[in-house]
Amino acid sequence: MLKTIACFKWVIDDADIRIDAGTRKLVLDRAGYKISAYDRNAIEEAVLLQEKHGGTVCAVTVAPSSAKACLKDALSRGPDNACYINDPSFADLAPAQTVSILAAGIKAGIEFDLIICGEGSGDLYTQQVGPALAETLGIPCITYVNKLTYSESDRRITAERKLEDGIEVVSAALPALVTILPDINTPRIPTLKQVLGAAKKPALNVTLDSLGPAGDPCLKTVGIQAAVMDRKKIRFAADAEGIRAAVGALLKEVAIA
């Protein structure tokens, strides 16, 4: 029986982010939240493995206490249960803090053979939580996975890693952790009955008091501003001479090579 944990993060829906034109600050007062895109793939992959091999799927998140709505969203996507590790202070955690909280929560009472994480989160995309969690739990980690299979006979997983220079196929004995890329699957849209059934599934509420301190952040966010792309608006004549001059100027600036 395969016991899988799918980790997910509840992030601001980037479609709702507005930019204040004067200060370049992000205007978030009307922003909604959603499950980080790659984490939806993580949940889907866990559910696909369960459909093929049986076992259980637990969706785990570390989130502020105001994020309870994430549970129904996650559970409507197929997991049997969820673990909601929350505290009002968990709003802007550094990756190392998330890892220590997540590891403590998992150690405290979630049995697992396999942990699936998205390669990176939709907001910060640090790609640190998956590998650091594996390290903290002392289990092997396979990153950049775009295909995953499980062999019941020898209880091993085989993964295809999509790297810049090719595909690497690796195998690991369980327990293990994988971080996955979005092309591994297409998450299904939950059906209406799944949405309505999510409220009936068990969700374990784990608070910071039961886990101990999360540690100090080694990162500090001092400000967030929207990136602005200023166009140079260079005009040039559309004849051969004009184009040659424009390309020559760009080459000189090493803007193109």
Partner 1 sequence: MDFNLTEEHKLIRANVREFCEKFVDPIAEQTDAEPKFPMETVKKLAEQDLLGIPYPTEYGGAGSDYLSYIIVIEELSRACATTGFTLEVHSSLASFPLFKFGTEEQKKKYLVPLCKGEMLGAFALTEPGAGTDAGAASTVAVKDGDHYVLNGSKIFISNAPVAGVIIAFALTDKSKGTKGLSAFIVPQGTPGLIIGKHLNKMGIRGSLTSEVLFKDCRVPAENLLGQENQGFKIAMMTLDGGRIGIAAQALGIAQAALDESIHYSKERVQFGKPIAALQAIQWMIANMATEIEASRFLTYKAAWNYDQGLPYSKEAAMAKLFASETAARQTNRAVQVHGGIGFIKGHKVERLYRDAKITEIYEGTSEVMRMVISGSVLR
Provide the binding-site residues for partner 1, judged by CB under 8 A: 32, 34, 69, 72-73, 76, 189-193, 195-196, 198-199
What is the nearest approach in angstroms of partner 1 to the Cβ of residue 200?
A: 12
Residue 122 φ/ψ region, left for φ over 0, alpha for ψ in the -120 to 50 degree band, beta for the rest? alpha
C-beta closer to partner 1: residue 179 or 185? 185
What is the nearest approach in angstroms of partner 1 to the Cβ of residue 93?
A: 23
C-beta closer to partner 1: residue 79 or 175? 79
C-beta closer to partner 1: residue 69 or 173? 69
**Alpha-carbon distance 80 to 90, whole Å?**
25
Could you give the residue ranges of the DSSP H alpha helices within the chain? 37-53, 69-75, 95-109, 129-137, 192-197, 240-252
C-beta closer to partner 1: residue 230 or 253? 230
Q: Are 147 and 184 in contact (CB under 8 A)?
A: yes
What is the nearest approach in angstroms of partner 1 to the Cβ of residue 193?
A: 5
Pairing of strands 81-86, 56-63: parallel
**Alpha-carbon distance 181 to 47, whole Å?**
16
C-beta closer to partner 1: residue 193 or 235? 193
What is the nearest approach in angstroms of partner 1 to the Cβ of residue 254?
A: 32
What is the nearest approach in angstroms of partner 1 to the Cβ of residue 226?
A: 16
Q: Are 5 and 82 in contact (CB under 8 A)?
A: no
